[in-house]
Amino acid sequence: MKQVYIIAAFVYCFSISIAFAQTDGYVLYNPVHVGGGFLMGYNVQSTNGTLRCLGDPACPTFSQGSGFRFGVIGIAEWMPTSWGLRTQFGIASSTSHMTTTDQKAKVKNGQGVIVPLIREHAMDATLSAALFDIGLQTSFGSTRLFFGPSIGYLLNPIWTSSSTIIAPENVTFQSGSRDTVFVNQSIPNVNNLQFGVNVGIGHHIPINTSMVVVPEISVSIPFNAIRTASEWTQTSIMLGVSLRWGSGAVKEEVMSNIELIDTVQIHSKERIGTVIITGIPTISRSIQEFEAHKVITETMKRTDTIKIGLPPKPSPKPSIAVFSSIDKQQGTIDKVTVTGQLVTEAFPILPMVFFSESQSILSSNYKQLRTIEGFSSDQLEPLVTEQHKDILNIIGERLNRNPKAMIQLKGYSDPTTEKSDCSLAEQRVETIREYLFNVWNIDKARMSVDIDRRNCMPENPTLSRNAHGYEENRRIEISSESKEILSPVIRTRYVELTDFSPKELYINTQGSIGEDIVNCNAACTIGDSVLHRKDGSSIPEWFKFPLSKDQARFIQLSAFPTMNMSMILQDAEGELGSNAIDIPIVRDTTNLAIQRLSLMHFPVQKASLDKQGKSAINDFLKDLEDNASISIIGYSDNLGNAQSNLELSKERAETVHRYIQSIKPKANIIKVDGVGSTALPPGIKSHELPESRFLSRTVQIEIIRTWKNVQ
């Protein structure tokens, strides 16, 4: 039954789509149609449980069944308005098939055992009838819904009763067959006159001006039974198709639309600008009939309101232009340039760890790892003070690479602030040993301890009687017979910043739009990193963003191709406006390559060159070309007299100069000078930390070559 519903629905939807494709521009208007067609359907049989097999008293009752219906029909309809009458007459033949089983009888099977006799009983009926329906119908465009009473007269209804043995297999009827027909006769006690109701829907598909094809789906519901002796009823679901004629079935439809719009103007103090408020339309329709067509005129009337208010508050809209100064005549900035040179540098390590007063725990200045995974001294930033923060990790890494190497730890305390406390010095040594053992897994047997328990002040103490001098004496010194443990950190051919332009960025906000601004934010960013950010509650004419050397170095090392200058405005109502400019970054590298060595470390107030320093110079200059230029600059810390520091730095530079001449007489030394404490060595940011002061007691040697000489 479900399949019949699906097929009927599909056929009907298909007919609807054909109708819409063929009837564009036409409407049905003729009141009378007559025609004929055919129908087919699916029957549903039901009883009250008293319908039995004929000729077999042992047969149980039938309760339900199914069948099919086929027939031809004639149709006439009258539609003076959207409501009308419809009549249908014809002849249809229906089939009915009902089955039931029983196992009341007992028989012997092939083994002689008494078992139930299982039989299937069937009742098949043929119900031919003359049909007549009359009822109301209403139209929805070309689709019509109809309903009304249905009358049928059964013509010679017959039925057949049969039985089939299911089990056991050894039993047959007297004829020797396992099935038999008990009776084939007219149905007794039949109600020839059948009453019911017919409900359905159809669609008119015009073929030409006088002919339509109409597919329909309907349901016939009975009011009385087929037999007087039992409540045997038949409900039918039918699909019909008919061809119908009518004089002038369709007329061409011509549509005409008229719009009548009036306007009313009012003034308002609201900040809405000019707003048109559309009124509610009223639509009227008139039809004019002509011989071959009809004209349908739709008239729409509407009154609109024009509301004129104050101009709306402008949305925040920043305008930005970037300059190198407040003087706009210098023009806008079209790029940021950072210039660098290739540098190969040996960064001396300072084998010392400094402690806070009376403390034996590591200072937060030193990086303490939880795991050594991922650490590499080759990836450290090329700044000597930054590398010193990892001094214990550098030594731990080198001890792991050189499993036979050993180190000696000498612990000290300050004689003034800590009274040369040897117990404190010993605790400091143990802190270093525990860190290298726990984090770097260095056997403590490879870390010997050298503490003079009679006097734990440094062998070469800083004698300045101030906080900086006392701070330098609170330390651990690390030494090793293995050259690899305390050798400089070498960084090969990294790009070092030499210059950048511009030094300052100015954002001009002229042309920005916004009222009641509560927040004005300007930012200079590279990727997700913010170089500058400024906030305010109003829009200034200029934002000034100076670029520092550290920021220029960051720009040089970043992978992003542009610098972003942005501005965001927010008004009191929370509305936002933004604007941004991307400025290209040009990274340039000079044709010079620098090799640099810093000698560490000269003792306090000393200019002598020790054995380790001479060895470092020999290694540094072993491949020196004749045309390479050498620069020698001496430095000092800021302890003591500035003039004395200047003279000391010059003396240190001369000491190195004399030694280089002794081993490389043809060396092209273009500069020998000392700057004292007036200038910081490269990589030193201040003299505040003890390690910074130790690292400032140095001489820096630079070899300047061109690329073609080093490639």
What does the pLDDT look like over 100-147, one tens digit per residue? 888 888 888 878 888 888 888 888 899 899 999 998 999 887 788 999
Q: Which two tokens stand for residue 301?
A: 């009337």
pLDDT of the residue at 252: 65
Instruction: Kindly tell me the burial class for residue 388, based on how many C-beta atoms sit within 10 Å of its own C-beta (0-12, 13-18, 19 or more).
Output: buried
Helix (H) or strand (E) holding 422: helix 422-440
pLDDT per 10-residue tile (average), the chain, 711 residues? 39 37 41 88 88 72 89 88 88 90 83 85 89 89 89 89 85 78 82 92 84 92 86 90 72 80 86 85 82 76 88 85 81 86 83 93 92 89 87 95 94 90 92 95 92 82 82 90 86 82 89 88 92 90 89 88 92 89 89 77 79 83 80 90 91 92 89 91 86 88 69 45
What pLDDT does residue 4 have?
40
- Going by their DSSP bridges, the two strands 576-599 and 629-634 should be labelled as unpaired
Residue 427's pLDDT is: 94
| List of residues 6+ apart from 615 with CB closer than 8 A | none
Q: In the chain, which segments carry CATH 3.30.1330.60? A: 349-487, 600-710
Token pair listed for 241: 């198709």
pLDDT in tens, 497-523: 888 989 888 889 888 888 888 899 999
Contact 624, 695 (CB under 8 A): no
Q: Say whether the peptide bond before residue 601 is cis (omega within 30 degrees of 0).
A: yes
User: What is the pLDDT at residue 247?
Assistant: 58
Residues 305-318, buried b or exposed e (16+ Cβ, 10 A)? Answer: eebeeeeeeeebeb
What CATH architecture does domain 349-487 belong to?
2-Layer Sandwich (3.30)
Q: Where does 600-710 sit in CATH, by number?
A: 3.30.1330.60
Q: Which CATH architecture has domain 321-340+495-590?
A: Sandwich (2.60)
What SS3 string covers 430-448? HHHHHHHHHHHCCCHHHEE
* pLDDT score at 221: 93
Write out the residue limits of the CATH 2.60.40.10 domain(s) in the chain. Answer: 321-340+495-590
Q: Are 73 and 90 in contact (CB under 8 A)?
A: yes
Question: What is the rounded radius of gyration, in angstroms, for the C-alpha atoms of the chain?
Answer: 54
3-class DSSP assignment, residue 418 = coil
Q: What pLDDT, on the 0 to 100 scale, is given for residue 290?
A: 60
- Asked whether 233 and 221 are in contact (CB, 8 A), the reply is no
Cβ proximity of 629 and 589 under 8 Å: no
User: For residue 6, is it left (φ>0), alpha (ψ between -120 and 50) or beta?
Assistant: alpha
Per-position b or e across 64-97, b if 16+ CB within 10 A of its CB: ebebebebebebbbebeeeebbbebebbbebbbe
Beta strands in 460-619 (DSSP E): 475-479, 489-501, 504-508, 517-526, 529-536, 542-546, 562-571, 576-599
Structure tokens at 379: 């990836």
CB atoms within 10 A of CB 567: 23
pLDDT at 23: 38
Order of strands across the sheet that contains 352-354: 352-354, 475-479, 407-411, 447-450
